[in-house]
Amino acid sequence: MRYFSIRIIIILAFVLLASCRKESGNSVILQIENGALMYEVDTYLKTKISSNLPQTKTLVSSFQPSENIEINGKTIEQFKHQETNETTIGGDLPGRQWVVQGIYKNEEIDIQKTVRLTTYDSFPDLVSTQVTYINMSSNNIIIDNWSNNNYIIESQNDEPAFWAFQGSSSSSRSDWVKPLEAGYYQKNYMGMNDSDYGGGIPVTSVWRKDVNVTVGHLALVPKLVSLPTEVFSNPLGAKIGVQEDFDDHTIWKPKDTIQTLETFVSLSTGDYFVSLARYSELMQAKGITIAEPEEASFEPIWCAWGYERDFTLNEVIGTLPKVKELGIKWAVLDDGFQIAEGDWNANPKKFPQGNLEIKRLVDKIHDSGLKAKIWWTPLAADPGSKVLREHPDSKIIQEDGAPQYITWWNSYYLSPTKDATIAHTKETIHLFMEEWGFDGLKMDGQHMNAVAPDHTLENPNNSVEGLPDFFQMIYEEARSIKPHAVIENCPCGTCMSFYNMASMNQAVSSDPLSSWQIRHKGKTYKALVPKTAYYGDHVELSDGADDFATSFGIGAVLGTKFTWPKDNPNASGKYLLTPEKEIIWKKWFDLYNNLMLSKGTYLGDLYDIGYDKPEGHVIQKDGALFYAFYTDRWDGDIQLKGLDRNKTYHIKDYYHNETLGEISGANPVYNASFEDFLLLEVSPK
């Protein structure tokens, strides 16, 4: 037995020596290869990532301090390696794990660093990281922040240098996907960034033409961390990472431990689609449950918001025949029916007979053969509203003692984990769906995406981390009343919190500022929740207020807020369904109902939304591939990706109903000339 043990030690020593190599005087003490990702650690616990994918170039030229801690205003980047241990992990997520330990020590500070690196068998191309720091000093230390998965990715002189997906939210309602050039910086904080704005998808994905690098965290609830993105000019490179900042003068006491979140780095080719899909699948494997799709959520929508808050019941009821004629299946009662945010009964100034009038409206909608959805802004309560009169302590109170304010609604935030908030919310759902008979909820407002810490709670961050449970409660309560209820979450202009996505069955582009936003938001949702209906929002919000092609081509549900037979005087003629517009609207809704591309499989890995020109999207349905291309003007060849090289295909422009000939999968190049959009159906011969 003794001889056997010695032999193992000798073998292990030989393997360790064989796997070590020198770079800049430092030995590589660990190499992890998981799919396309090569992950190396040196004797100072710095790391280097590289790709073994074909035709990919250098990501980083040297080892970088990817995991570090800032204390007393100084970033500690080098920890002298002490030991490394490797184990196999089982359970629902089997894989391998390496624990690497190092030490930083000077006359005043003594810090032990332990890095846990994990690969999961079912998730190639990804390594996760969690770091534990122990203050081994005999004195207090001021801690500023920790950072994980910090990498400066080298440019390969692409034009633009990089594209990026950034999952944060801000009052600017900026694009989630954009090109990056030198001088760019965005903090991407996952908490509140403005009075109404915060939350998002805790992932940053940066890519060049040859490779994509993605980082994020894997906590199962929202966390108040940042994923900063910065582009340096000399040399040109994009920096990404995950960081948690501590309050000023946060004391780190002797022997106390600080543990980071489990974060990750992953590689892929193409744009961000594959990386986001992999992230969502891993989060689901860790315990996030995504709601199942609902058949009715794929049906087209008319919303009464064209009449805005001053609508009358006669206007809504009078429009229903035209809604039905166009082949639309849903009618939505929007903002303006309620007494106040926080008192959702019918406003007696508008409805003298109160709630009975709204119930009659729902009956009219149902009698027209349509389903009824109602607008609602949960968590908002106006000063003096019923819920605040009865439960004044239901508000979120900030650290300075002031309530958190929702600027957009002139309201206060209700605290999502408090009993009074939950009881009020359930009461409202029963009013809408049981008493009035609505079939679905349109939850609306950028404030829904995140909340601030509530300092009336024992742990203030419970409000932040408990928000997803609040939306799950809404989903379950509504579906207990109407088992097929459609639950739409529309966090206006924000990058919707991944954690809230689990509790809805209809995503939406939520007040897009352009058709480009409708398309890249759709690609994002289809990566994260591929079976859920994605609603392109009112077409009137698209370029030209009539870009149905954008929603149609990416497999989004069509919607409109037209007025008829007369326009809302506040709308300046924008929403009136004129006879000329009606012909176009009817064509698109007929085409939608016939093809139902929203139920198809979106093949988001075929075209790079940044570098490929023209911009391309593909949906697979009923044995055919439906291609959508977008640009101002195109004359030239387009490669139809995804075809079987052993087959021949028919090509049809399905919008213009024109047969365009045949194409071989062995040479799938089509010469096209179009403006704005081209929609093709390509089916096997």
The CATH number of domain 615-684 is 2.40.160.20: no
The CATH number of domain 2-286 is 2.70.98.60: yes
pLDDT attached to residue 107: 85
Q: Give 612-621 contacts, CB < 8 A, sequence gap 24+.
A: 614/638, 614/678, 615/519, 616/641, 617/519, 617/523, 617/553, 617/554, 617/555, 618/642, 619/553, 619/554, 619/555, 621/595, 621/596, 621/597
SS3 495: coil
pLDDT tens-digit profile of 459-479? 999 999 999 999 999 999 999
**Strand 257-259 to strand 601-602: parallel, antiparallel, or no bridges (unpaired)?**
unpaired
Confidence label for 108 from pLDDT (cuts 50, 70 and 90): confident
pLDDT attached to residue 572: 65
pLDDT attached to residue 4: 31
Alpha carbons within 13 angstroms on the beta-carbon side of residue 117 total 26
Q: Write the secondary structure of 467-491 as one string of H (helix), E (strand) and C (coil).
A: HHHHHHHHHHHHHHHCCCCEEEEEC
pLDDT attached to residue 26: 72
In whole angstroms, give the CA distance from residue 27 to residue 476. 55
In whole angstroms, give the CA distance from residue 124 to residue 278. 9
In whole angstroms, give the CA distance from residue 353 to residue 355. 7
Q: What are phi and psi of 170, to 5 degrees?
A: -155, 165
pLDDT tens-digit profile of 27-73? 999 999 999 999 999 999 999 999 998 889 999 999 999 999 999 88
What is the distance of C-alpha 244 from the center of its chain? Answer: 20
Two domains, one topology: 2-286 and 615-684: no
Following DSSP, what letter does each residue of 403-442 receive, concatenated?
BPEETTTTEEEBPTTSHHHHHHHHHHHHIIIIIS--SEEE
pLDDT at 569 over 80: no
Stretch 421-447: mean pLDDT: 98
Following DSSP, what letter does each residue of 357-369 receive, concatenated?
HHHHHHHHHHHTT
Contact (Cβ atoms closer than 8 angstroms) between residue 196 and residue 171:
yes
Confidence label for 249 from pLDDT (cuts 50, 70 and 90): confident
pLDDT at 13 over 50: no
Q: Report the 10 Å Cβ neighbour count for 405.
A: 19
Residue, of 249 and 244, whose pLDDT is higher: 244
pLDDT at 24 over 60: no
Confidence label for 21 from pLDDT (cuts 50, 70 and 90): very low
pLDDT at 18 over 60: no
Confidence label for 573 from pLDDT (cuts 50, 70 and 90): low
**Strand 123-135 to strand 141-154: parallel, antiparallel, or no bridges (unpaired)?**
unpaired
Which residues face 620 on adjacent strands?
Answer: 601, 625
Q: Which amino acid is at 101?
A: Q
pLDDT tens-digit profile of 287-321? 999 999 999 999 999 999 999 999 999 999 999 99
pLDDT attached to residue 309: 94
pLDDT tens-digit profile of 435-447? 999 999 999 999 9
In whole angstroms, give the CA distance from residue 553 to residue 570. 31
Residue ranges covered by each domain of the chain: 2-286, 615-684
Which residues face 214 on adjacent strands?
Answer: 205, 266
Counted residue by residue, the chain has a size of: 685
Provide the mean pLDDT of the chain: 94
pLDDT tens-digit profile of 618-669? 999 999 999 999 999 999 999 999 999 999 999 999 999 999 999 999 999 9
Q: What are phi and psi of 80, to 5 degrees?
A: -75, 125
pLDDT tens-digit profile of 505-538? 999 999 999 999 999 999 999 999 999 999 999 9
Residue 322: is it exposed, middle or buried by C-beta count within 10 angstroms (0-12/13-18/19+)?
middle
pLDDT attached to residue 183: 95
CA distance between the termini of the chain:
69
